[in-house]
Each structure stands twice: as C-alpha cells, then as structure tokens.
Amino acid sequence: MGNRIETIWKIALTAVVVSGMLLIGACGGSKEKKIDVAAGEYYSEAELERLSAGMKNRYCNDLGSFRESAQQELEAKTRELEETNEKIKTVGAKRTELDRERVRLEVDIRVLKEQITAVDALRDSVRIRVGESLKTIAALPDVYNDSTKWWKLLEANEQILLDPFYCLSDTVIYIPRNWPTN
C-alpha cells in the first residue's frame, strides 16, 4: 500500500510542477497551450500577447511565485511521504512481531485445550485384572503413568484393598486425581 500512495503523490506533484513550468514557458514567448491549474485561470497566448509589459511581467512573476511555492510544497510532501513510509515500515515490523505472538498464543491455546480434553478423558476407576498390582495399574498411561504412585491408589481404596501386594481380580478401585482447588 505504501508504494501505491508514493506513486500517486509523485504523479500529482509532478503534474503541478509541469503545469507551472508550461505556464512559465508562456512568459518566455512559448507557443505551448496553457493548463488550467486548480488555483485559477491563466491567460491564453493571445491574451498574454495583448497584455502591457507591466501586466505581463506581473503575471510572469506570479507564475514564478506559484512554481516556487509548488516546488516547496513538493519537497515538503516528499519529506512527509518518506517519514510516512518509515512509519509504515516500523508498524509493519511491529505487526509481524504481533502476528508471531498471535500464532504462538493460538498454538499454546490449542495444546492446552488438548491437555484439558486428555485429562477429562482419564478414567476415574479401574477394574483389576489377573496378575495386576497397584504398581502396574499406577504405571498405566491413563492412570498416573508412574508406577511409584501406587500408594495413592492404596490410600484411596484402603477400605477395599486388604493387602497392597495382592489384589483380587475383578475388584474395581477408585483413581484419585487430587485436582487443584484454585
């Protein structure tokens, strides 16, 4: 977008300068057709030839002043355009940084949602099968995925389990999760 704005400004300001140059050329006796400039109407060649020397000089001085003013405005607008382009670059860099941050946050949110879904899907009880112990149950991925946490199962089910090292098959035990309360 910055290049398009720059091109439009260059075309517009070039037109102003060219129009001023064409009009000034008429003061030197040029046969160029005069251009209507937004500031007002200008003399035709025939009208210019009929002017007195004093009026012609005044008119040419006015056109020279207009050209000088237009040139100064062109330079000021060119500087302003350069400053605006620099601001656009700065904003563009900041936007790129913010886009990266947005993508990172979206990924973090997706991962957290998946983790919450996985936690919600964890079972809250298990039926003991032949040959299983509290250690093998605690080591299951959907229980604790850590055999050293067998004691949590024992504490939560001490009314059901008489011996931590021997579990009756088909016994259903509760899996405590101890969710945070805050």
Backbone Cα Rg of the chain: 43
Calpha distance 57→54 (Å, rounded): 5
Residues 23 and 82 in one domain: yes
- 174 and 128 Cβ atoms separated by less than 8 Å: no
Residues 105 and 153 in one domain: no
> Between residues 58 and 30, which one has the greater pLDDT?
58
Q: Which domain holds residue 129?
A: 125-174
Q: What is the pLDDT of residues 24-47, one digit of tens each?
A: 545 554 433 333 434 566 667 777
Distance CA 136, CA 29 (A): 106
Cα separation, 170 vs 135, in Å, equals 16
- 86 torsion bin: left (phi>0), alpha (psi -120 to 50), beta (else): alpha
Task: State the pTM of this model.
Answer: 0.43
Residues 95 and 159 occupy one common structural domain = no
Residue 181: inside a domain, yes or no? no
pLDDT band of residue 134 (cuts 50, 70, 90) is: very high
83 lies in a domain? yes
